[in-house]
Amino acid sequence: MKAFSLSEEQIACVIGAAAADELARRFNRHADFLTIAAWTQDAPLGRGGLALDEDEKVACARRAASLFGLDEDYLSAVSAEKIADWARELTVAVRHELKSFSFKPAARIDGDVAHAHGADAIYQDAAAAANVLAGRRRLLSFVAPHSLLGLELSLLTPNLLGIEAIDARRMTPDELSSNLLFGDVLVATPTLWRYMMQEGLRAPDNSLAVSFGEPMTPELAVEMRTSGFGVLREMYGSTETGLIAWRDNPGEAFVLFDHWRRAGDNLLRLCPDGEEREVDAMDLLAWSGERSFTLSGRRDGAVQIGAVNVFPDAVAETLRNHPHIEDCRIAVGRRSDGAARLIAHIVLAPKTPPNERTARDIDVWCRVNLRQQERPQIYNFEIETGAEA
């Protein structure tokens, strides 16, 4: 069925997004949002495009193949000059061999471990999302499509609904305001929604806003409704589990999709093949009924910043490797708009002055050794006596 397929153009977009993630993970190469959004079919793999050297090209080809459940060396014999060359090969394979997908979590605590999901389970998730997004005319996405929820919501769901899927990552808020039409749905993370609200995004009547990846605050929800989005849908799930539940307002409980059941304090997935599989939720769930719950914090100590799971203890451990830092503790604070931010409480090494130059030196070091979401936004220095400076 056409609804259960991905076009070559869509696969190229997935490849480009996955390549950007792989370059950041393995080679500490970071590109800006608009640059990554342009890594589509016609983007060269060399000069004028992704600018990959041989090691980077091999790593990106392996990531692309494994994402679609293929052997990581599937593309090794393909002579590729553009993303389109890889996309063409993967499109044929996906039509005949697609049995699973493999996604890497945004958090780096698991190293390079990927989580595999059967293709039927991924389409089951997308069908569930389509049920709560039915009636829309177009779907625009501000989210990269290489993650589990990004792929399901940005590409598979509109395919199942038979509506146009538009990559909005290359649009400014002004361009989005001009392009949004009556009946559209726009997908973004709360961090991106905050940015769009700050930039004055306006939506026409009967527009639907979808968010996922980090908690939606009541204050942000009010801003989004004021900007014209009459309906909100917040999705809950993870790379490890798949898509689990949804709700309309931050103050409400999440409601399980039909292929999930409560199993005591945990979850039971009803798989498409009839199997029932118990799943550990990534968060502590406070049940208010057999099909509804609220979140009571992460089981693993992660906090969500920019839709990325960040582990404060791991960030602190990394910072302790800096020659000016003797000890470090990471706290989580909230900005005035409700977004989480990291605060580093640092005990400096002996004879290290707690001044602006030291702060700049540590901040530059963090830009090399930590991802953007892991970098502290505030540094509190302590001198040897323990008093903050």
List 246's β-bridge partners, or say none.
Answer: 235, 255
* Six-digit token string for 268: 């039971």
Write the burial class of residue 76 (CB in 10 Å: 0-12 exposed, 13-18 middle, 19+ buried): exposed
Between CA 285 and CA 292, with CA 291 as vertex, the angle to 5 degrees is 50
Residue by residue, DSSP assigns 39-83 as -STT-BSSTTTT---HHHHHHHHHHHHHHTTS-TTTTTT---SBH
User: Which pLDDT score is estimated for 336?
Assistant: 67
The CATH code for residues 1-98 is: 1.10.1200
Residue 255 sits at φ, ψ, to 5 deg, of -115, 130
Distances (CA, A) of 69 to 66, 86, 179, 212: 5, 15, 35, 24
Looking at the structure, give the CATH architecture of the domain made up of residues 100-300: 3-Layer(aba) Sandwich (3.40)
- pLDDT given at position 387: 39
Structural domain boundaries in the chain: 1-98, 100-300, 311-382
C-alpha to C-alpha distance for 139 and 119, rounded to whole angstroms: 22
Distance of CA 295 to the CA centre of its chain: 19
CATH of domain 311-382: 3.30.300.30
Per residue of the chain (389 residues), what is the pLDDT tens digit?
A: 444 689 999 999 999 999 999 998 889 898 888 899 999 999 999 999 999 999 999 999 999 999 999 999 999 999 999 999 999 999 999 988 899 999 998 765 555 688 999 999 999 999 999 999 999 999 999 999 999 999 999 999 999 999 999 999 989 889 999 999 999 999 999 989 999 999 999 999 899 999 998 888 899 999 999 999 999 999 999 999 999 999 999 989 999 999 999 998 889 999 999 999 999 888 889 999 999 999 887 666 677 776 677 888 888 999 999 998 999 998 888 776 667 788 899 999 988 888 888 888 998 888 888 887 888 988 888 765 443 44
Alpha-carbon distances of 5 from 151, 178, 266, 341, rounded to whole Å: 12, 30, 32, 39
Measured distance CA(315)–CA(329) in Å, rounded = 9
The two three-digit tokens of residue 105, written as one number: 């979590």
| CA 150/CA 162 separation, integer angstroms | 18
With beta carbons less than 8 A apart as the criterion, state whether 141 and 154 touch.
Answer: yes
Distances (CA, A) of 266 to 240, 276, 284, 297: 14, 13, 9, 14
Coil/strand/helix, residue 300: coil
Tell me which residue has tokens 């906090």: 303
Task: Give the strand pairing for 100-103 and 115-118.
Answer: antiparallel
Burial class (CB in 10 A: 0-12, 13-18, 19+), 163: buried
DSSP H or E segment with residue 325: strand 325-334
Amino acid identity at 64: A
Here the tokens at position 185 are 């749905």
* H runs (alpha helix) in the chain: 8-27, 33-37, 54-67, 83-97, 119-132, 148-151, 157-161, 173-179, 190-198, 218-226, 312-319, 356-369
- The strands making up 138-141's β-sheet, listed across from edge to edge, are 164-167, 138-141, 185-188, 207-211, 229-238, 242-247, 254-256, 292-298, 283-287
Would you give the DSSP letter of residue 3? G
CA dihedral sign of residues 295, 108, 9, 182: positive
Cα(349)–Cα(382) distance, integer angstroms:
10
Give the C-alpha separation, 244 to 252, whole Å.
15
Q: What is the pLDDT, as a whole number, of residue 241?
A: 93
Distance in angstroms between the alpha carbons of the first and the last residue of the chain: 64
Encoding tokens for residue 386?
A: 């323990």
